[in-house]
Chains A and B, each alone.
Chain A
C-alpha cells in the first residue's frame, strides 16, 4: 500500500528526485523512505519492496519518541536518530522545520559518517525543494 495519493503530487515529485539523488551518491543505501509526521509513506527508493506502511508508522513513532527524549533532557535542537544493528544502520532526520522525516537504511560497509552526510544532504535538498512548492508552507511544523 502506497500512500502517495494522499500527498501533493509536487511533494511526491520533489521527494522522488531527492531520494534518487541520495541513492546515486550512496552505494550503501538499501532503502530510503520519506514519511509524513504521522507515519504515512510519501515516497521510497527503491520503488518496490515491502509497502504495507509498517516501516513508515514505526519510523514516525521512533522520530516522535526521540524528539520527546530531546525535549525531556533539554539538549537543544534535534539532529539525527541513529539505530545501529549488526547488519544495517538506520538513520532518520527531520527535514528542518517541516512535517516530513527521512528514514534511510544503509549497509554496514558504508561508514557512519558518509551515511550521515548523505542523509543531511538529502534533507537539505528536500527543504529547498519544499520551500519552492506552492504547498510548501503547509508542510511545516
Chain B
C-alpha cells in the first residue's frame, strides 16, 4: 500500500487541528495547550507540538497527516516534521490581518516540500471574510512559486467531504510528481 506523509501547515487558528480531526480515521494524537494569546487568536487551546491522524483515501492509499503548531516560536517542530513529508496542505485564515503574507511565509518556510512533492492551498474562514478571493491567491502563487502548480480551494476544515477532495487532489499531484521525477 502506498503511504504518504502530508503536513498541514498555516497560521494559528487557520483550522489545522480541526482539519486533521475531521479527516482522520483513527483517534488523533493531539498536543493542545491552554492558549494565553487570546488577543492574537481567540480560542481556548493551541497546538504546541503536533497533531497526528491517518486516513485511507482508497484501499491502497494511506495518508499519514501531521499538523504543525502555527506560531513561529515552534519552528523547531517545523524542522522536525518537514523531513519526511512529501506534500503539504497550506491552510490560510482569510479573516486574519495579512492572509496573503501568511501564505507567502508558509510557502517560503516549507519550500523544500513543494519543491520535491506537492502542495495545495485551502482558504478557510471565507464565510467570515470573502476576500481575498481564490483568484487573488492563485495569481500570487503563480507569480511567486510557478513550479509548485498549487491548486487553491475554499475549504471549511469542519467539513470532511471538502477536505477529502482537497487531499485527494494533493495525493494525485504527489504521485504524478514522483512519476515525473522517476523518468
* A residues in contact (CB < 8 Å) with B: 6-7, 36-40, 53-54, 57-58, 60-65, 67-68, 72, 99, 141
Knowing A39-B74, A68-B29, say if A61 contacts B49 (CB, 8 Å): yes
Knowing A57-B73, A99-B34, A141-B34 are in contact, say whether A38-B46 is a contact too (CB < 8 A): yes
Q: Are B34 and A39 in contact (CB under 8 A)?
A: no
Residues of B within 8 A of A63 (CB): 48
Task: Known contacts A38-B46, A61-B49; decide if A68 and B37 are in contact (CB<8 Å).
Answer: no
A8 to B36, CA, bound (A): 11
B 136-147 to A, binary, CB cutoff 8 A, 1 in contact else 0: 000000000000
16 pairs from A and B in contact (CB 8 Å cutoff): A36-B33, A37-B33, A37-B34, A37-B48, A38-B34, A38-B35, A38-B37, A39-B33, A39-B48, A62-B49, A63-B48, A64-B31, A64-B33, A65-B50, A68-B29, A99-B33
Instruction: State the 4 A-B residue pairs at the shortest beta-carbon distance, nearest first.
Output: A64-B31, A37-B33, A99-B34, A61-B49
**A-side contacts of B37, CB under 8 Å:** 38
**Interface of chain B residues 59 through 110 with chain A (CB within 8 A):** 69, 73-74, 76-77
Q: Judging by beta carbons under 8 Å apart, are B29 and A38 in contact? A: no
Q: Do A72 and B29 contact each other (CB < 8 Å), given the known contacts A53-B73, A61-B48?
A: yes
User: B residues within 8 A CB of A37?
Assistant: 33-34, 36, 48
Q: Are the CB atoms of B31 and A57 closer together than 8 Å?
A: no
- Hey, which chain B residues are within 8 Å of A62, CB to CB? 49
User: B73: which of A39, A64, A67, A141 is its contact (CB, 8 Å)?
Assistant: A39
Of B30, B35, B36, B77, the residue contacting A61 (CB under 8 A) is B77
In the complex formed, the residue of B with least CB distance to A62 is B49
A61 adjacent to B74 (CB under 8 Å) = yes
Residues of B within 8 A of A57 (CB): 48, 73-74, 76
User: Closest residue of chain B to A65, judged by CB?
Assistant: B49
* Most-contacted residue by chain B among A6, A7, A60, A62 (CB, 10 A): A60
Contact A68 B76 (CB under 8 A): no
B46, closest chain A residue (CB):
A38
CA distance A37 to B146 in the complex (A): 40
Nearest residue, chain B, Cβ from A57: B73
Whether the pair B49, A64 counts as a contact (CB closer than 8 A) is yes
Residues of A within 8 Å of B48, CB to CB, are 37-39, 57, 60-61, 63-64
Question: A6: which B residues are within 8 A, CB to CB?
Answer: 36
Q: A-facing mask of B42-63, CB < 8 A → 1, else 0? A: 0000101110000000000000
CB–CB B73/A68 < 8 A: no
Given contacts A37-B48, A40-B36, 20 further A-B contacts (CB under 8 A): A7-B36, A36-B33, A36-B34, A36-B36, A37-B36, A38-B35, A38-B46, A38-B48, A39-B73, A57-B73, A61-B31, A61-B49, A62-B49, A63-B48, A64-B48, A65-B31, A65-B50, A68-B29, A99-B33, A99-B34
